Amino acid sequence: MAEIAPIVDAARSPYAARRPLPFSAVLLEGGFWSGRRLVNGLAALPHGHAELVATGVLRNFARSIAGERSGYEGKRYADSDLYKWIEAVSYELGRAGKRGGEIESALDGAVDLIEGAQESSGYLYTYYQVLREERDRWRHLDTDHELYCAGHLFQAALAHFRCTGERRLAGVARKLADELCRSVGPGKIEGLPGHPGIEMALVEMYRAFGDPSYLALARYFVDARGKGLCGGASYNQDHVPVRRAREIAGHAVMQLYLLCGAADVYLETGDSELLGALERLWDDLVLHKMSISGGVGARHELESFGEPYELPNDRIYNETCAQIAAVMWSWRMLLATGKARYADHLEWTLYNGVLSGVSLDGTAYFYPNPLRSRGSPRRSPWFDCACCPPNVMRTLASMHSYVATTSDGAVQLHLYDRARISAALPTGERLDVRLDTDYPWRGAVRIFVERVESAREIELSLRIPGWCRRAGIRVNGRDLPGPIGSGSYRSIRRAWKAGDQVLLDMEVAPVLYVAHPLVEPARSCGALARGPILYCIEQTDQVEGASVLASTLAPGEPIGEESDDSLLEGLVTLSVLGGGSPAPASESEPLYRQRGASDEPADGGVPFFTAARARGGGGGGRIPLRATPYFAWANRSPGPMAVWLPLEDR
Amino acid sequence: MAEIAPIVDAARSPYAARRPLPFSAVLLEGGFWSGRRLVNGLAALPHGHAELVATGVLRNFARSIAGERSGYEGKRYADSDLYKWIEAVSYELGRAGKRGGEIESALDGAVDLIEGAQESSGYLYTYYQVLREERDRWRHLDTDHELYCAGHLFQAALAHFRCTGERRLAGVARKLADELCRSVGPGKIEGLPGHPGIEMALVEMYRAFGDPSYLALARYFVDARGKGLCGGASYNQDHVPVRRAREIAGHAVMQLYLLCGAADVYLETGDSELLGALERLWDDLVLHKMSISGGVGARHELESFGEPYELPNDRIYNETCAQIAAVMWSWRMLLATGKARYADHLEWTLYNGVLSGVSLDGTAYFYPNPLRSRGSPRRSPWFDCACCPPNVMRTLASMHSYVATTSDGAVQLHLYDRARISAALPTGERLDVRLDTDYPWRGAVRIFVERVESAREIELSLRIPGWCRRAGIRVNGRDLPGPIGSGSYRSIRRAWKAGDQVLLDMEVAPVLYVAHPLVEPARSCGALARGPILYCIEQTDQVEGASVLASTLAPGEPIGEESDDSLLEGLVTLSVLGGGSPAPASESEPLYRQRGASDEPADGGVPFFTAARARGGGGGGRIPLRATPYFAWANRSPGPMAVWLPLEDR
């Protein structure tokens, strides 16, 4: 099969510190992510198509073709749901090749509709084609979603073109992009997309087709922000120019898609002020505005970021799309800088904050991803605003993109999974390796060098994750000398030859995380994790009488580990001793009481602001708690769930 | 001056356990609440009129008079802002009498406009009169605010009629009520107000004018809920019939106004199932859904109640109107049952959750009332949705209504302030007393019996607040024998005579409150209070280097008290020892770190998910903290504020 370009094709971007491998150069098989991808391909993609049909998204294109002026179904950005699904299906076909199955017919049918709906001018946006007048086009960029949908079309078209070799959708995309560049920009219609996303897509179109007007428009969309073209509010990312921003703010997905676009602009232009802003904003994100799950965007209200440390557990928003956008951004930052922190964040967010957004069977979704639940949330097969499901689909179908990169004379491994990697270096060398591992459940990764084409030494860099306290590396059975620091890359420079073996052995042990003291809902609490996997406790796993919401954690006690095949192949559960449940705080106890007081209220009823009966058995017997990966929650019996548990320190 | 009926005139309601005193029977002077009322009358009411003029509320009535069909200004419920202001001004005049001042001219002008805008049919709702067709009237009860505005008109008209003796606005109200009863109800247009409020107003109209159709319609509006007439969602209080509800839910003000109406229906009908539901729901409110400030309605999203124990500090909504509605409900529950808990809640909420909604100078307001702030919130002179300011105005202008009640042969004192009370008992006796006290800053209340008309003993009941740990009572210098329980009434039955003196001496000492362990943001924290006053710490009061947001509290240390006249006459501030600030948690420290780990991250930048540098000086030196009443926050230099402080227990 021909080489397929990477999804962020920075292979020739002048300011990329790391080069993405071709899409076709990494194969995940038999490991954690290939399992998730299998479910995604077999269950999620057909499910997604059925939902797109049922909710009328495809019919909107048919209406455009027929010239109908009413009957549009769904949200005004529904086109983008189809585009993301096409992107996902294309990635899937890029891995497996076309085989004439149902999903391919569905894809072809969708491409037919899109092609048919495009007008001769290149215009394409079914919501406007059906419901609005021609004079409205490009005139409401700040409130409508023409540009947002165009961006997703571009991404879908590039995925389709790159993965299937077919040019139809790419042709649609180019015609639309050209029409857009004719219509919008400095000296033409000046405006900004209310919902960013098109910026990175335009840069990707530039990478694919070389037209500098695409890059120029992307740059304009990045640089024109903060000048009131889009209402001036942080919600729409118009409160401050990107390069002057000091705080992650506004609608989470909008903010993060915009920063993806800004990072793409940097990769092509080397605008160092822009990179400085991006690094500063990224720090703000992970230092002040991220749940321990990697979830980002705290507020239900306006789907926005909150203030620093505003990270509730129960009411956190953490939209699945926001975590995906954060991964996309960190990937670009990694390409731009090569710094391990971006890969750390990307890995952690993928395993926890993104994966929590989809059921283990691939067909039910969370839009918000809370860290604590009284038991009511259930995953939904689809949403009225269906951005998240196809976003998960395209992410899982392209997971292998994030595994490795190259630079001059060097290969970097970022994620560990069972994989085959064929790395052609920018300097001409080639290094093919095979990875064997039970990661993330076990910390040993065996790297088999299968083929080398090089006249000189190649540097192989292994990421030592930030969560990893201890790691060792053996090359052909011998310990690699020198320090191995966590949160960094350990490089092995060597004249590799086929048959060489590297063993990276990371200590994967249960640990307790604590939060910054300004994170109020996590105060005095601990969260269990093991390797890159965050854990939670669900009611369904607990012994009779143990209440998840009233449980505490005894931090001095050892934490047990056990493999469990019933949830997911090879998944490791944790067992810890907790307390609190023999006499949990009752719901009839007062909300507030005076410290030290113990009298009954006189009127015998609600003990309002006075002291309640003394709590019986507080800090009493210990009970076992069973913890399972956070990403796997809400897949079995509904019931309370908690990530943060109060520590019995006192 | 003639006797003025109470604002909730349950004096003849067959199922009232307690009788409200006439509006004119209690005079507050020289104490805490008369100070607040003075500011309200002198500053807030003229300010409110200027805002009502500036925002076009009065012009909307002029447009209705002129038959204009465009140009309506403000929200569709703007009429109600004027009505609440009229209610407040009427109460103010009811106390002071008309004296021909500017505020009276403004009132008369407003009444002229309202009278002029009413159509001959009785219809009155300027939003519809200006912008909608006649066929729309009463046809969109669930989404528009005809009934909500009508309810506020009724309350305003009754206040105006009762306090000034003028009948003009009462005539408008009766005409509108009669038109409403002709149009809406079983067998007519069947529907429910999307925003409740009219229920209690209709009962009050029934009390004032005796027309049973008013009570019947109120009862219908209470009983028809939960049947889908209003969309079926909890937001609009249509998810369950009131009498079957088990949980406080939906839009907070809508929920609480509805329950006020249900309580009023109970007071007239004795529907015991309804009372049972009300008592159950009230318990749910104070046991599960109330901030320690008395603030209610946790969510910004839909201005609604959250789940049990969902009580964030920074992002709590706690709309000022919701606290006012809770006070209105507790007052009705107190009238219905005589139970001390309702007076406890009412007092606590007034001093803290309501009073926090208005600046000390009376002209700037909070819509949400958070318990923690990084320093950004500022009070606003008005809002686009201006429900809160005039709601505060009418509450402060009628504070004396909540001081005392009577029952057969008995007088109950609920709130303590400098006051003159003239209590005519339902059984014909009369007891006039004068209260002298520095409450809430001091716990001593002297009650001077000034006049008695009775042939037999009268029971005088003194509320011993739930917050009060120790209290003593002396009658004419002699200790009253027998127990004095907090959260109850202590009755003194006696053949009172003029010159008798009672001294109630409540211990008013600083205490620490702790929260139910399921209130996550208050976990391991304490909140300072003293008597009925909740305290907070503001940055402006702290010593150099002490950070409000990083401060902890040393619970074993004594708490100092000091009077401070600079903020509010006689206000008591607290001083405590805290810690944490010499080496506060820095904003560059990682959000999450492994417990016990201490390595630097290898790439020297953001220590993502790895261990940070060890915290220097944790739990180190003690620093003094100064606490001021929560209600008085955000009146000086803007800066961080916190109510809950982590306790240094460990």
What are A22-37's pLDDT values in tens digits?
Answer: 999 999 999 999 999 9
Q: What digits encode the pLDDT tens for the residues B124-162?
A: 999 999 999 999 999 999 999 999 999 999 999 999 999
Chain B neighbors of A514, CB-CB under 8 A: 592-593, 595
A589 to B514: CB separation less than 8 angstroms, yes or no? no
Provide the β-strand partners of residue B505: B444, B472
Question: Which of the four pLDDT bands, split at 50, 70 and 90, describes residue A589?
Answer: confident
Residue A21 CB contacts under 8 Å (≥ 6 apart), including other chains: A6, A401, A403, A404, A405, A406, A421, A422, A423, A424
Of B467, B519, B607, the CB nearest to A609: B467
Q: Which chain B positions have a beta carbon within 8 Å of A308's beta carbon?
A: 374, 587
d(CA A630, CA A349): 12
Q: How far is residue A302's CA from residue B139's CA, in Å, rounded to a whole number? A: 31
Point out the residues of chain B with pLDDT beneath 50. 581-584, 598-605, 611-619, 650
Every domain of chain A and the residues it spans: 404-506, 510-582+620-646
Least CB-CB distance to B610: which of A376, A486, A518? A486
Q: Could you tell me how many residues make up chain B?
A: 650
Set of chain A residues whose Cβ sits within 8 Å of the Cβ of B599: 469, 485-486
Chain A contact set for B603 (CB, 8 A): 339-341, 487-488
- 8 Å CB contact between A277 and A211: no
pLDDT at B569: 65
From chain B, the residues in CB contact with A312 under 8 A are 312, 315, 520-521
Each residue of A512-571: pLDDT tens digit? 999 998 999 999 899 999 999 999 999 999 998 888 998 899 878 889 999 887 776 668
Which of A348, A376, A547, A603 has the most B C-beta neighbours within 10 Å, making it the best mutation to test the interface with B? Answer: A603
Q: What are the chain B neighbours of A588 within 8 Å (beta carbons)?
A: 287
- Whether residue B466 lies within 8 A of chain A, CB to CB, comes out as yes
Measure the CA–CA gap between A506 and A494, rounded to whole angstroms.
Answer: 22
DSSP string, A107-133: HHHHHHHHHHHS-TTS---HHHHHHS-
Cα–Cα distance measured from residue B473 to residue B484, given in angstroms and rounded to the nearest whole number: 8
Q: What is the pTM of this model?
A: 0.91
Check CB contact under 8 Å for B314 and A301: no
Q: What pairs with residue A450 in β-bridges?
A: none
Residue B342: its pLDDT value, please? 97
Q: Indicate the burial class of B402 (C-beta count within 10 angstroms; 0-12, 13-18, 19 or more).
A: buried
CA distance B566 to chain A (A): 29
Instruction: Give me the sign of the Cα torsion angle B375, B381, B383, B388.
Output: positive
Helix (H, G, I), strand (E, B) or coil at A488: strand
- Write down the pLDDT at residue A583: 45
* B127, amino acid identity: Y
Under a CB-based contact definition with an 8 Å cutoff, are residues A317 and A284 in contact?
no
CA distance B59 to chain A (A): 29
- Rounded Cα gap, residues A425 and A431, in angstroms: 8
Size of interface A-B (CB pairs under 8 A): 243
Task: Look over chain A and give the mean of its residue pLDDT values, rounded to a whole number.
Answer: 93
Q: Note whether B337 and B264 are within 8 A (CB).
A: no
Q: Would you say B533 and B567 are in contact if contact means Cβ atoms under 8 Å apart?
A: no
A562/B contact by beta carbon, under 8 A: no
For B16, how many CA atoms within 13 A lie in the half-sphere containing its CB? 21
Rounded to whole angstroms, the Cα distance separating A609 from B290 reads 11
Nearest alpha carbon to residue B221 among B235, B200, B207, B204: B200
Q: How far is A378 from chain B (nearest CA, A)?
A: 16
Report the sign of the C-alpha dihedral through residues A164, A166, A168, A173, in that order: positive
Q: What is the pLDDT of residues A233-270, one digit of tens each?
A: 999 999 999 999 999 999 999 999 999 999 999 999 99
Could A607 and B466 be called an inter-chain contact, meaning their C-beta atoms sit closer than 8 Å?
A: yes
Asked if residue A558 has a cis previous peptide bond (ω within 30° of 0), the answer is no
CATH 1.20.1070, applies to B404-506: no
Sheet holding A410-413, edge to edge: A19-20, A404-407, A410-413, A458-464, A488-494
Which member of B286, B518, B608 has the closest CB to residue A344? B608
| Residues of A with Cβ-Cβ distance to B485 under 8 angstroms | 599, 602
Contact present, A585 and B516 (Cβ < 8 Å): yes
Q: Which of A315, A523, A602 sits opposite B523 (nearest CB)?
A: A523
Beta strands in A112-194 (DSSP E): none
Partner-chain contact B599 A374, CB within 8 Å: no
Which tokens is B285 given? Answer: 């409110």
Interface mutation vs chain B, best among A346, A610, A650, most B CBs within 10 Å: A610
Alpha-carbon span A54 to B16, nearest angstrom:
57
Residue of B nearest to A526 (CA): B595
pLDDT at A607: 53
CB B180 within 8 A of CB B150: yes
> Which residue in A286, A486, A587 is closest to B602 by CB distance?
A486
pLDDT tens by residue, B295-346: 999 999 999 999 999 999 999 999 999 999 999 999 999 999 999 999 999 9
Res B555: pLDDT: 78
Q: For an interface test with A, which of B278, B333, B603 has the most A Cβ atoms less than 10 Å from its Cβ?
A: B603
Residue A271, min C-alpha distance to chain B (Å): 21
Q: By three-state DSSP, how is residue B643 classified?
A: coil
pLDDT of residue B607: 54
DSSP annotation of A301 reads: G
Helix (H) or strand (E) holding B284: helix B272-288
Q: Do B592 and A513 touch (CB under 8 A)?
A: yes
CA nearest A279: which of A255, A256, A263, A295? Answer: A263
Candidates B169, B140, B137; CA nearest to B152 is B169
Cβ of B283 within 8 Å of Cβ of A605? The answer is yes
Question: Nearest CB to A526: which of B283, B591, B595?
Answer: B595
**Which amino acid would we find at residue A604?**
G
Chain A segment 318-347 residues within 8 A of B by beta carbon are: 339-341, 344-345
Per-residue pLDDT tens over the stretch B390-405: 999 999 999 999 999 9
Percent of chain A beyond pLDDT 70? 94
d(CA B6, CA B200) in angstroms, rounded, equals 14
Residue A347 scores a pLDDT above 50: yes
B374: nearest CB among A307, A339, A605: A307
A516 and B283: CB-CB below 8 Å? no
CB contact under 8 A, B549 and A607: no
Q: B340, A602: Cβ pair inside 8 Å?
A: yes
The mean pLDDT value for A463-488 works out to 94
Distance CA A344, CA A294 (A): 11
For residues B573 and B8, what is the distance between their CA atoms, to the nearest angstrom?
36
pLDDT of residue B557: 83
Asked if residue A635 has pLDDT above 90, the reply is: yes
Chain A residues lying within 8 Å of B487, measured CB to CB: 601-603, 607-608, 610
pLDDT at residue A620 in the model: 55
Position A167 scores a pLDDT of: 96
Phi, psi of B442 (to 5 degrees): -125, 155
Q: Does B555 touch chain A (CB under 8 A)?
A: yes
Whether the CB of A587 is below 8 Å from some CB of chain B: the reply is yes
Which residues 183-212 of A have a C-beta within 8 angstroms of B? none
Nearest CA in chain A to B313: A520
Contact with chain A for residue B375, Cβ under 8 A: no
Q: Which chain B residue lies closest to A490 (C-alpha atoms)?
A: B602
Q: Is the pLDDT of residue A598 over 60?
A: no
Which pLDDT score is estimated for B601?
47
| Min distance A583 CA to chain B CA atoms (Å) | 12
* B231 neighbors B184 (Cβ within 8 angstroms): no
Is a pLDDT exceeding 80 seen at residue A649? Answer: no
d(CA A612, CA A600): 6
Q: Quick one: pLDDT at residue B429?
A: 96
Which residues in chain B are contacts of A299 at CB distance < 8 A? 300, 315
Q: What secondary structure does DSSP assign to A616-631, as a single string?
A: TTTT---EEEEEEEGG
Residue (of A36, A14, A15, A2) closest to A402 by Cα position: A36
SS3 A183: helix
Put simply, whether B495 touches A (Cβ < 8 Å) is: no
